[in-house]
Amino acid sequence: MDVRTLVRADFADLEEYAPVKPIEVLARELGLAPDEIVKLDANENLYGPHPAVREAAARASFHIYPDPYHSALREALAEWLSVRPDQIVAGAGADDILDIVIRLVWPDAVVTAPPTFGMYSFLARVNRARVVEVPRLDGWELDLAGIASAVRQGATLVFLASPNNPTGNLASVEEIERLCALDALVVVDEAYAEFAGTTFVPLIAEHPNLVVVRTFSKWAGLAGLRIGYGVANEEVARRMMAIKQPYNVSVAAEAAALAALAHRDELMDTVRAIVRERERLEAELARFPWLRPHHSAANFVLCGVEGRSARHVADALRRRGVLVRYYDRPELRNYIRISAGRPRDTDRLLAALREVEEE
């Protein structure tokens, strides 16, 4: 029997999402020790979690099922964000929340604004939705007219990121309010909001069709534990809670998230350190005549490469144990994205770039 006949036919040509590899796998591929690698390709927090967060996760009771309602976490998040607990839905990373929203709306068409996070298109297609790409304008600005046109033609779900990944620029309050005036659910991904110091959460009170998605992966250094959440109108959140997997957040992830919130003032010191390093990165990259960094409000810098191949630059850095993200897509044909790490990570990157420049 050909088992392919039992699989969804539209999966045959599904473009897979390209995740980054863990450092242990990369170390084996490059023939280097893990501590010799500078991992600036996934926007991870290289400072790692707070010691109290590690301890809380280790103490979690793994032999029992987690709280399916995430009651303690929702209450702590509500206090932090000045919303009600019934407006919050937690998940296994922000990606889980994005998937829940798509399954809730079950749209015929989803709007994205490339270049942007590839998971929006991937999850939409997995859920049998048509993806309508409305490319960004000069300066990576949103094409509001184009998005409105897509909604008028039947799209009922709009995905945006602010700061946008990989361009690093922010949407404005005026832009989000204009989009919320459309007949669609508007989802704003704020995975990097802590580095920008902005959020659209307060707008939910006026716009019940707005959902804000956030994560502990970046600012709190919990990418490996997969813990994120959405903030929405209470009716939308109630329906999201009704269709999510019951135990979609592990006890370790919830314990770590609660500890991170308890120590958020100390963790925000780390966030500020990363922002300083991002600013340093922008300034130092601009000193190379063949690199064109774009200003970013996140924890990474998108950098155009001029007069040489961005793929070659990424490969040459990789051979030296420095990992950056290269995009083989038309709208980002000769760009690399570089995460902001610790000062020593930036030092290694700059030294490697000088060697590449001399090749």
Ramachandran class of 235: left when φ > 0, alpha when ψ lies in -120 to 50, beta otherwise: alpha
State whether 307 and 342 are in the same domain: yes
pLDDT digits (tens, 9 = 90+) for 254-270: 999 999 999 999 999 99
Q: Is residue 34 part of a domain?
A: yes
Is the per-residue pLDDT at 3 higher than 90?
Answer: no
pLDDT digits (tens, 9 = 90+) for 296-346: 999 999 999 999 999 999 999 999 999 999 988 888 989 999 999 999 999
Q: Is residue 57 part of a domain?
A: no
Q: Is residue 285 part of a domain?
A: yes
Percent of the chain at pLDDT exceeding 90: 88
The pLDDT value given to residue 233: 98
Q: Is residue 53 part of a domain?
A: no
Is the per-residue pLDDT at 11 higher than 90?
Answer: no
State whether 234 and 284 are in the same domain: no
Q: Is residue 56 part of a domain?
A: no
* Count of domains observed in the chain: 2
End residue of a domain, out of 262, 293, 324: 262
Domain that holds residue 23: 3-48+265-358
Q: Is residue 289 part of a domain?
A: yes
**pTM metric for this prediction:** 0.95
State whether 350 and 229 are in the same domain: no
- What does the alpha-carbon distance between residue 252 and residue 336 come to, in Å, rounded to a whole number? 34
The pLDDT value given to residue 12: 73
pLDDT digits (tens, 9 = 90+) for 50-62: 999 999 999 999 9
For residue 99, CA distances in Å to 19, 95, 216, 222, 316 come to: 17, 6, 17, 20, 36
State whether 129 and 214 are in the same domain: yes
State whether 192 and 126 are in the same domain: yes
What CATH number is attached to the domain comprising 343?
A: 3.90.1150.10
The pLDDT value given to residue 14: 73
State whether 255 and 293 are in the same domain: no
Is the per-residue pLDDT at 232 higher than 80?
Answer: yes
pLDDT digits (tens, 9 = 90+) for 109-166: 999 999 999 999 999 999 999 999 999 999 999 999 999 999 999 999 999 999 999 9
Q: Is residue 143 part of a domain?
A: yes
State whether 209 and 249 are in the same domain: yes
State whether 146 and 210 are in the same domain: yes
Q: What is the per-residue DSSP string for 119-152? A: HHHHHHHHTTPEEEE----GGG---HHHHHHHHH
The pLDDT value given to residue 35: 83
End residue of a domain, out of 237, 262, 287: 262
End residue of a domain, out of 233, 262, 291: 262
What CATH number is attached to the domain comprising 247?
A: 3.40.640.10
